[in-house]
A and B are shown apart, each in its own frame.
Chain A
């Protein structure tokens, strides 16, 4: 059997045809069908303006941010198999991961991927600004993007604590100490001292925003659990939902921006 006819044979099997319900995308009808019929590809329109597909226009930065987010989800799940978020085990689990998993680069991929995502999301925003793509009708989607950017930073920040080494707890201590200075809501912030009824102090280090964030007055085991849940469950879900909104709006706002 020659190569050509083997490929033809496969493409004619019932299995293949049950998965790909159209012929090869070399004519207009099938090119439309392949994009419209695939749940991932149908994020795209079937046709788009030539200016919008050029790498020089979008730099593919939004797309890469999304790709890295997916890669982080997968490597993150793999890491969760080995990691227990308690003061007793967190650090040693990371050591074990390093020493007992042969050729393991999951932790590296996850960490460098997280850094890379911060960079790509910033550059994506920069590109969107420089092409004026936030202008009507895309104002709202820019706002969704700003929230995504903030959440990306928070994802990275909450993950920073999980290795439970010196770098982790002190970086988070520096960061979360900011919360204590929140006006009115942090016990070291302006106005908190005024929130007093007689001797009763309303905002103290036992109930202010930093306490809520850390589950305590310092970065301890409660903070580790909170950050773990925020990092592995809550923020990723919110980000995933917002990315869906973001993509939907890119389409509904008329696709990639182009001169009017």
Chain B
């Protein structure tokens, strides 16, 4: 069993399984939002964590004080996703019957006094949160390691957990992309959401059917990319950022042969058998054209998929959305290129520190 989980957590298998599960989940959204699935998910996570903690390696990772929040995060993310889908599915069923969503029933539209209706809820939340934090603080000491030593780097040197998704992206992209451009695009993209999504439905209540595309895209970025990469970066990366299964001991001598090659090498050396050209632009021509072609494929996407969106949204919104989505999809694409053909860089121009 543990062997199997170790095997399945190898990023390419884990990611592919997650991808498949994600789209099955979207297709079978009514089942995902059912109480039955909620129960399975709830007890499933609890039993999995309890069972996994009997393993000394897993226990050591999860109980390392700074990793505890990630355990909490995973549970909360799973449950909150289920809960919102559950409410959405309930509302969708009501809407299909011609009833208003639950938030819009005459009873729920009525105004109630802030005191006592809201203030007591808040008081309760504050007390619960305080108890939770105090118990957490008593049970787990804040970690403190050896004093800072600039001459000796621990291995692995990890960023705080909430940035491990970005650090994990470093496996696939250079720092200028993984650490600067892509995070910047996440912030810009998030800010742009309300201006891109002009669907007037689903404002102020949970629903899935009325906002299928928006919710699927957001959940994809949130669960499949962001949370998944954090989990990989936290639990599955050991010394030298090598992969280790959740139940695999961090053996510092594990050597993984890195034989990644660049697109230019595949093209000129392996395929044409002529050696790399001197001129760097000629050398990288395939990658440059490929990258330009990727973003220049917008008219094609529009023709086969986006015509109606373009008509509804107008030029600026539509092209902004497609641009952001292409940027987002570049990550899984690069991941699969790495896994399938060991591709290191699509464009490799160390002369300008410009590697994609």
**Complex: A54 Cα to B238 Cα, angstroms:** 44
Binds B, one of A5-13, A183-191, A230-238, A240-248: A183-191
Q: Restricting to B96-111, which residues have a CB under 8 Å from any CB of A?
A: 100-104, 107-111
Residue of A nearest to B91 (CB): A259
**Complex: A178 Cα to B178 Cα, angstroms:** 8
Task: State whether B103 touches A178 (Cβ < 8 A).
Answer: no
- Does any Cβ of B come within 8 Å of A83's Cβ? no
Q: Which residues of A contact B158 (CB under 8 A)?
A: 171, 174
* B-side interface mostly: helix
Q: Which residues of B contact A165 (CB under 8 A)?
A: 144-148
Q: With A119-B69, A166-B148, A167-B145 in contact, is A135–B136 under 8 Å at CB? A: no
Q: With A47-B114, A112-B69, A160-B160 in contact, is A127–B80 under 8 Å at CB? A: yes
Q: Which residues of A contact B180 (CB under 8 A)?
A: 178-179, 181-183, 186, 189
Q: Restricting to A38-73, which residues have a CB under 8 Å from any CB of B?
A: 41, 44-51, 53-57, 59-60, 63-64, 67-68, 71
Q: Which residues of A contact B129 (CB under 8 A)?
A: 64, 67-68, 116
Which interface residue of B134, B148, B176 has the most chain A CB atoms within 10 A?
B148
Question: B72 is contacted by which of A51, A57, A119, A179 (Cβ under 8 Å)?
Answer: A119
Q: Which residues of A contact B195 (CB under 8 A)?
A: 139
Question: B215 is contacted by which of A34, A123, A130 (Cβ under 8 Å)?
Answer: A130
Residue of A nearest to B72 (CB): A119
- Does any Cβ of B come within 8 Å of A177's Cβ? yes
- Does any Cβ of B come within 8 Å of A19's Cβ? no
- Does any Cβ of A come within 8 Å of B88's Cβ? yes
Chain B nearest CB, measured from A123 CB (Å): 6
- Does any Cβ of A come within 8 Å of B18's Cβ? no
- Does any Cβ of B come within 8 Å of A98's Cβ? yes
Which interface residue of B73, B140, B180, B354 has the most chain A CB atoms within 10 A?
B180
Chain B nearest CB, measured from A227 CB (Å): 13
Q: Which residues of A contact B157 (CB under 8 A)?
A: 170-171, 173-174
**Complex: A170 Cα to B152 Cα, angstroms:** 9
Q: Which residues of B contact A149 (CB under 8 A)?
A: 190
Residue of B nearest to A67 (CB): B126
Contact with A along B123-143 (1 / 0, CB 8 A): 001100110111011101111
Q: With A108-B137, A132-B205 in contact, is A87–B148 under 8 Å at CB? A: yes
Task: State whether B352 touches A116 (Cβ < 8 A).
Answer: no
**Complex: A143 Cα to B187 Cα, angstroms:** 9
- Does any Cβ of A come within 8 Å of B203's Cβ? yes
Question: B114 is contacted by which of A46, A60, A67, A171 (Cβ under 8 Å)?
Answer: A46
Q: Restricting to A99-148, which residues have a CB under 8 Å from any CB of B?
A: 105, 107-113, 115-116, 118-119, 122-123, 125-127, 129-136, 138-139, 142-143, 146
**Complex: A165 Cα to B12 Cα, angstroms:** 35
Task: State whether B125 touches A126 (Cβ < 8 A).
Answer: no
Q: With A109-B137, A259-B104 in contact, is A49–B143 under 8 Å at CB? A: no
- Does any Cβ of A come within 8 Å of B258's Cβ? no
Task: State whether B167 touches A174 (Cβ < 8 A).
Answer: yes
Task: State whether B205 touches A146 (Cβ < 8 A).
Answer: no
Residue of A nearest to B202 (CB): A132
**Complex: A112 Cα to B70 Cα, angstroms:** 11
Question: B197 is contacted by which of A45, A55, A135, A182 (Cβ under 8 Å)?
Answer: A135
Q: With A53-B117, A108-B142, A109-B137 in contact, is A47–B187 under 8 Å at CB? A: no
Q: With A35-B114, A146-B187 in contact, is A190–B148 under 8 Å at CB? A: no
Q: Which residues of A contact B143 (CB under 8 A)?
A: 167
Question: A146 is contacted by which of B117, B133, B146, B191 (Cβ under 8 Å)?
Answer: B191
Chain B nearest CB, measured from A28 CB (Å): 8
Q: With A41-B119, A68-B129, A112-B136 in contact, is A119–B108 under 8 Å at CB? A: no
Task: State whether B113 touches A112 (Cβ < 8 A).
Answer: no
Chain B nearest CB, measured from A46 CB (Å): 6
- Does any Cβ of B come within 8 Å of A226's Cβ? no
**Complex: A242 Cα to B140 Cα, angstroms:** 32
Question: B146 is contacted by which of A46, A105, A166 (Cβ under 8 Å)?
Answer: A166
Chain B nearest CB, measured from A69 CB (Å): 12
Task: State whether B134 touches A258 (Cβ < 8 A).
Answer: no
**Complex: A55 Cα to B124 Cα, angstroms:** 11
Task: State whether A126 touches B80 (Cβ < 8 A).
Answer: yes
**Complex: A188 Cα to B350 Cα, angstroms:** 10
**Complex: A220 Cα to B206 Cα, angstroms:** 49
Q: Which residues of B contact A47 (CB under 8 A)?
A: 111-114
Chain A nearest CB, measured from B127 CB (Å): 10
- Does any Cβ of B come within 8 Å of A150's Cβ? yes
**Complex: A107 Cα to B143 Cα, angstroms:** 10
Task: State whether A257 touches B144 (Cβ < 8 A).
Answer: no
- 13 residue pairs A–B, Cβ–Cβ below 8 Å: A25-B116, A31-B115, A46-B113, A49-B108, A53-B121, A116-B132, A131-B205, A132-B202, A132-B204, A142-B190, A157-B163, A175-B159, A190-B352
Instruction: Beyond A48-B111, A164-B147, A191-B353, list 10 extra A-B contacts (CB 8 Å).
Output: A115-B161, A126-B84, A134-B193, A135-B202, A142-B190, A146-B191, A166-B149, A179-B179, A181-B353, A190-B354
Residues of B within 8 A of A (CB): 66, 68-69, 72-73, 76-77, 80-81, 83-84, 87-88, 100-104, 107-119, 121-122, 125-126, 129-130, 132-134, 136-138, 140-150, 152-154, 157-163, 166-167, 174-176, 178-181, 187, 190-191, 193-195, 197, 199-207, 211, 215, 218, 222, 351-354
